[in-house]
A and B are shown apart, each in its own frame.
Chain A
């Protein structure tokens, strides 16, 4: 039902957008304005027993740190959370120390800068929304803390969006400063293609950084960030459903036994 609703909602959004185009006199390009449903991508965290591929999520963090974090904040995460991805204490400390964090006030009443600590939240690229918009032609880069939960299609959508950039088809009217992306509602997105080409990021484990690979890794990282409880949740769920199935069998046997002298 959720999938159905999502389709409908997307269709509705597109209809609104298309309506806007009609009013703007852009009649012929209408059919091209509809966003494609994101293809179903296989991720390590899919399915009943899914877990996060740690290596992929670590690479994904690297992609976030070197690419996405220039514009997108992740305000709900702290550097210490990265230990859950298998990074050592020393590595987490080193990562945190690479950013300057504003702290204070000190005894003189002044704010001061200090190197980050593992307990600090991920540093935001902009100090406030106005600064973010000013640096991005008026568009606000959304916070990525729970982005896979905050978009229809979840991780599939994020992966599709990151790999969905292309040149607009013939006759598609682009607005100034927007980029063509067939998975985005209205197909015009303010974010320029963030993963531009192979080798944009140099992975330490030697994995070839194709756009597809970087996108998949960063999507895994974002999915982990949004649902760090996913693994324990699913493991617990399997156990509980097994338990309830046995208990259900027992209660049914008891019911049969108790009712046997009535029927």
Chain B
């Protein structure tokens, strides 16, 4: 759940940062997103005025968004610490979803995972560098190179690519308040996931039905992302509605139902059994090695 908090903080930081260049898309994105709060009954309008520091998105809004954009990463950093502390309470999960039964089932984080994660990190850096150095504008929007102008609305306001699925959910609902609730709910639902997924089996590897449902959920997520980039007209609204329906059905109907009904595949006896083919002995010096190196 702390992970979901980190996710929300990241989204907020990203959104606040997108406003800072103060281009057309920044300005109108800020207008659209802050206006979502006006959907809240009774206090909505007041909240929006309070967020803006005025009666429209203007300089005070920009100032406070700048401060918040600077502040939230530190908050995120703090929650990351809580996240690590929480990890030391429950221990980490594994792809098989079964508890370790002895030292042959675990490895020290360093050097094994530091070495392995370095590879992934470098691969990520390569992709990142390719974008930064050869296509810095590909994920942006040309309209943001036009300075913010409150009098000219761009014909098609789109959020940054990573918000597109949620934007599609928002637009799939004809009612403003309903759309805001569903968009917020699409993330808030992750908070209650532990109670929705009632299955005793922790890994999808041994739940073929749930696994198929999860993959379909991923498909619906990307379909929503695609619809979010499209103009709000048919057939995209219909497609977005179907995908939204499945997005929530997966959490609210399919997961609880499968948790009660599905009989999973047999679980392996221990982690080292399937991974090392036949249990395997304790890896030579797996526990002692890092100490020696230090």
Contacts and interface: CB of A to CB of B under 8 A. Distances in A.
A141 interface: no
Nearest to A239: B133
B119 interface: yes
Given A8-B230, A244-B122, 12 more contacts: A1-B138, A146-B145, A154-B142, A233-B133, A234-B133, A240-B129, A247-B122, A251-B115, A251-B118, A252-B119, A258-B111, A259-B115
Contact of B116 (A1, A2, A248, A259): A259
A12 interface: yes
29 contacts: A1-B161, A2-B138, A5-B158, A6-B142, A12-B231, A13-B155, A13-B156, A16-B155, A150-B142, A150-B143, A234-B133, A237-B129, A237-B130, A237-B132, A238-B133, A240-B129, A241-B133, A244-B129, A247-B122, A248-B119, A251-B115, A251-B119, A251-B122, A261-B283, A261-B285, A262-B112, A262-B276, A262-B286, A263-B276
A2 B130 CA distance: 15
Contacts of A254: 115, 118
B111 A150 contact: no
Contacts of B146: 142, 150
A240 B132 CA distance: 11
Nearest to B116: A255
Contacts of B229: 1, 4-5, 8
Contacts of B118: 251, 254-255
B122 A241 contact: no
Nearest to B139: A2
Given A252-B119, A255-B116, A258-B115, A240 B133 contact: yes
Contacts of A236: 133
Contacts of B111: 258
A158 B158 CA distance: 23
B162 interface: no
Interface residues of B, number: 37
Contacts of A142: 146
Contact of B126 (A238, A241, A252, A263): A241
B115 A255 contact: yes
Bin chain A's interface residue count. Answer: 35 or more
Contacts, number: 94
A247 B283 CA distance: 28
Contacts of B123: 248
Contacts of A2: 137-139
Given A12-B231, A149-B137, A261 B284 contact: yes
A252 B122 CA distance: 10
B107 interface: yes
Contacts of B119: 248, 251-252, 255
B134 interface: yes
A259 B113 CA distance: 9
Contact of A244 (B126, B137, B230, B285): B126
